[in-house]
Structures are given as structure tokens and as C-alpha cells.
Amino acid sequence: MATTAMSERSTITAQHIADFERDGFVLMRGAFAPAWVQLVRDGIEQDLRALGPLHTIQQEKDARGYFVTDFCMSQRIRAFRSFVLESDAGEIAASLMRSTRSNFFYDAMWAKGPGTRKRTRWHQDQPYYPIDGRQVCILWMPVDPVSAENSLECIRGSRLEPLVSAGIVARCSESVRRRQSHVRAHARYRNSPPGLRHRVL
């Protein structure tokens, strides 16, 4: 995968790191070469043709458009696995966290079709994870043009607030158990290629 088209490297600046530490998120335009974005787009199309065991249809059957989520695609789709292991994703995460390495946990897909009216509800990610800790970095990358009104929205500093109520955490528990079991059962590529700062859990 180390072609010229894939070899563009993103530049992490001190300002990126400062913004990430202050706000809990940072916007990095053009972080990945177009060829990487296309690879992930191809992987998404492949997944949509045959969704994995962790997928969820997020809206009613007769609703306009479509809204589907899926997880752990890199365990079965080569395009996602290549992105995880060979792109700059791990380097970006490690740099933003000021870490000597980053550990990849899982990938997630949120796919919405044109005209879909259902919004993604406000949430914190931590209750959905079977891991804990403050040194966590999520990379969100759209593969198609996204308007401001349809883009990801974040609340500055919200990671420092208390977690959501125990009731919401309880409702997340079954989803967490499913993903945790799947990751453990399908961890087929624990040994990352030599020279990488990140590894796969």
C-alpha cells in the first residue's frame, strides 16, 4: 500500500495538540491523502453490500433514506485493515495524545443516505467502550463532502464533565458486551508491521 499516492504525511503542529488538549477535539483538514479516503470509501461500499454481525439499522423500515452503523470492519474487510495498519492514523492519534504509541481498539461506520432525517442523538462515547481512561483519541473522517449542518458537532471541554447517567450507561452495556466479545474473538492481527508506533489490541 506504500504507493506515492498514499505516502503524503500529515503535519501535527503544536497548535493542533494544544487545541486537542483544551477542547477535546481538533479539526485537521486534509489529514489523509485522497487515495486513503477512496480506500475507506471502497471499504464502506463493500460493507454496505454485506453488513457485519455488529451492524444496526438506526431508523424505521419505511423512513426516508437510510441510517446504518457497523463496527469492527477491519477484522473482515481488507480496505479498513490497510487503513488502520498502514495510514498515518496511528501516528496522528499518538501525536495528539503526546504518547509514544497508540493502541487501536476498533473502527466504526456511520452511514447515512441522502434525505435521511433522523439525527444522531447527543452522546458521550465513553459509556459505549469496554475500556476506560482519559488518553483516548477518536478519528472521525468523512469520505464524502459534508455540509456544516450535517457535520459532526462537538461540545468544547465536555470530556471533562461527569459521564452521563447510570441509566444510559446501562442501556449501552449490551452493545459494549457484543463489541468486546467480537473484538476478542476476532483479534487476528495483533502483531503490527515492524516500525509502527501503534499496535492492535
Where is mean pLDDT largest: 97-111, 155-169, 186-200?
A: 97-111
Locate all alpha helices (DSSP H) within 60-195, ordered by sequence: 78-86, 89-96, 166-185
| pLDDT for residue 135 is more than 50 | yes
Q: Which residue has the higher pLDDT, 126 or 101?
A: 101
Instruction: Write down how long the chain is.
Output: 201
pLDDT at position 196 is: 44
pLDDT band, residue 4 (cuts 50/70/90): very low
Q: What are phi and psi of 71, to 5 degrees?
A: -140, 155
Q: Are 26 and 14 in contact (CB under 8 A)?
A: no
pLDDT at position 21 is: 92
Helix, coil or strand: residue 141: coil
Distance of alpha carbon 164 from alpha carbon 158, whole angstroms: 11
Distance of alpha carbon 139 from alpha carbon 159, whole angstroms: 15
Q: Are 97 and 25 in contact (CB under 8 A)?
A: no
**Residue 56: beta bridge partners?**
69
**Nearest by Cα to 94 from 183, 164, 197:** 197
Please count the other Cβ atoms lying within 10 Å of the Cβ belonging to residue 81. 18
Helix, coil or strand: residue 110: strand
| pLDDT for residue 159 is more than 90 | no
- For the chain, percent of residues with pLDDT exceeding 90: 42
Averaged pLDDT for residues 140-163: 82
Residue 184 C-beta-side C-alpha neighbours within 13 Å: 8
**pTM value > 0.85:** no
